[in-house]
Chain A
């Protein structure tokens, strides 16, 4: 589904990603862990097409298409969804109107008729019931004055409405207490199918208790320094990132 080959990326001339390769197949859950500043969020931003980042080397193929030349909105239409670490507030734009615009822009891209008000409300009601989202949240301006938990649940609700093939969860657990985390993770699990994949970016093992990754990769200093199964996450939880750093440092000095 997603095939990243030797990606190098920089921002304002500063090299952040230094050759990352990763292969995600349909239905798989991959976790990317790593200490602060290792490049985890940069990877998410590069995949989503954030303009400030410059890809200097490497390529990315998504569902057989060359991802990097695509506009961010087209990447979204093709089925790539980024759940933001800090969802952005847009005053004056109701959550419902925002999602309606998103759904219909995607349909336009796919050559489908836009959903009329009735069909759209039906779809919304269905997804709201599934994720136990309250109507009042949707009539408010998007993310404005939302609590941390509400923002993240709203991200998952948008994911449900847009039905992406690949979802990147950028630090989904930040700003959430344990109860909110469980609710959000349960929502994500409900949306999983054998065709859809997840790329979970996180500091902590906690979220992975709920999402159970097939593979765990450790990012350090812009490179994947170790890959393994979910047991690797547990090992990190126990030992911290220091042993990884030492290993990496050792490898560099050799």
Chain B
């Protein structure tokens, strides 16, 4: 009796829908990491000398650093010499037109539900598509540049807008920030760049879709978003990877800068390959994301739905420097099988009357481990700072774990910090109650999980909320839709 799987466990055995790989001509450099490799990839990208210097400095610093051991995750040691640091679909050149994109690649994205075809494209959403190490296409560029918005790959920005890159790259996450951020600074290959000029409200969602395709390659993307005074932008990233038996490393850095009265809303739907039912394979998602509320009354909001990756290690944070600035973090992290997630946020209150809000929903199933780790710090000068944190965990099996590690550091007596936490479990009783009403287990779990995550899902841009809702259901179920 004890060894039999419960209905719940049977129901949440899932299959990954995006596990296929595409055979395309790929330009790959040999495995391994050294200064030569960095020079090679910088040369491939025709980068200016200052960029190469920046990378080499980061690399030399990285060599002195140690991989962090504090996260509540376990994995065999990563051999950094066994990774391919540059892989790119061939015949990139300068694409003026999407028709020049490899048709096989276009088909891949059709299959992923993302149409690169101008006519069929989701209206109101501009997409930058990154495959392995490079950006292959960016849409709606002309329309956006007409109102002064720059939306392009970061490689292109290094060429076209060096003054902005020099000013902002590494300004929020320094090249020496942490082990994975330093690695990223040394070897990042592409990512998106957005610049919203003063007073402009970006009329459409900007989004980047990341796809790892090449075996044994790592993806190191870098995204930089700058919102000038009084501007607004909503940005979304999505990602998938083929199903492979080896673990692949994804170490990204995202930096956001919000000037006076500017607002950045950054949403992530993360669905990297999570590994198989026995925990074999999957992406190591070691990511540093940080936003700086530079100006007074600025606002940065992170929303994330994390369902993929074998291991997730990320803490999208906000430095609340401007007075009256607001930081928000809304997260749903779902782990199943042998997935591990150690995720949360840091809210650093420096300015006066700064406010932050943290809502974290962790869902654990199978044999997975799901940790929330969050820091709320109010500095000496943060008079009247306020924080509200809420961390809820939902357990779906007897073998999984949910952990909460809240850190609170208050250095100003006028600040108010609140923390609430709950843990609940979907039980066989709840499932039977649903079934007796004619609702089968799959539908019941979707209903319960979506009810649990609703507060966060409501924060996603409308175009993606439905997709994300489905993703949650699919990540837990054998067959839905």
> Chain B residues near A73 (CB, 8 Å)?
435-436, 438-440
Docked-complex contact B437 and A90, CB < 8 angstroms: no
Among A52, A82, A90, A97, which residue has its beta carbon within 8 angstroms of that of B436? A82
Q: How far is A57 from B448 in the complex, measured between Cα atoms in Å?
A: 36
Closest Cβ of chain A: how far from B431's Cβ, in Å? 9
Q: How far is A210 from B419 in the complex, measured between Cα atoms in Å?
A: 50
* Residues 96-110 (chain A) with a chain B CB within 8 angstroms: 97-99, 101-102, 105-106, 109
Interface SS, B side: helix
Q: Is A92 an interface residue (CB 8 A)?
A: yes
Q: How far is A81 from B452 in the complex, measured between Cα atoms in Å?
A: 27
Among B7, B430, B435, which residue has its beta carbon within 8 angstroms of that of A90? B430
Q: How far is A91 from B426 in the complex, measured between Cα atoms in Å?
A: 10
Of residues A49, A81, A98, which shows the largest number of chain B Cβ atoms within 10 Å of its Cβ?
Answer: A98
Docked-complex contact A93 and B438, CB < 8 angstroms: no
Q: Is B454 an interface residue (CB 8 A)?
A: yes
Closest Cβ of chain A: how far from B399's Cβ, in Å? 19
- For B, the interface residue count at a CB cutoff of 8 angstroms equals 22
Counting chain A residues whose Cβ lies within 8 A of the other chain, the interface size class is 20 to 34
Docked-complex contact A91 and B451, CB < 8 angstroms: yes
Q: Is B433 an interface residue (CB 8 A)?
A: yes
Docked-complex contact B437 and A98, CB < 8 angstroms: yes
Q: How far is A77 from B424 in the complex, measured between Cα atoms in Å?
A: 29
Docked-complex contact A84 and B438, CB < 8 angstroms: no
Q: How far is A12 from B428 in the complex, measured between Cα atoms in Å?
A: 16
> Chain A residues near B29 (CB, 8 Å)?
none
Q: Is B443 an interface residue (CB 8 A)?
A: yes
Q: How far is A94 from B433 in the complex, measured between Cα atoms in Å?
A: 14
Docked-complex contact A77 and B447, CB < 8 angstroms: no
Taking A93-B451, A94-B451, A97-B447 as contacts, is the C-beta distance between A88 and B437 under 8 angstroms?
Answer: no
B454's closest neighbor in chain A, by CB?
A92
A13's closest neighbor in chain B, by CB?
B1
Closest Cβ of chain B: how far from A246's Cβ, in Å? 37
* Residues 363-380 (chain B) with a chain A CB within 8 angstroms: none
> Chain A residues near B451 (CB, 8 Å)?
90-94, 97, 141
Beyond A48-B436, A84-B433, A92-B452, list 16 extra A-B contacts (CB 8 Å). Answer: A48-B432, A51-B428, A51-B432, A72-B432, A72-B435, A72-B436, A73-B436, A89-B430, A90-B434, A90-B448, A90-B451, A91-B424, A92-B451, A98-B434, A102-B437, A141-B451
Give me 14 A-to-B residue pairs in the complex whose CB atoms sit less than 8 angstroms apart, sorted by A's number: A12-B1, A75-B436, A84-B433, A84-B436, A88-B432, A90-B430, A90-B451, A92-B451, A92-B452, A97-B451, A101-B439, A102-B437, A105-B438, A105-B443
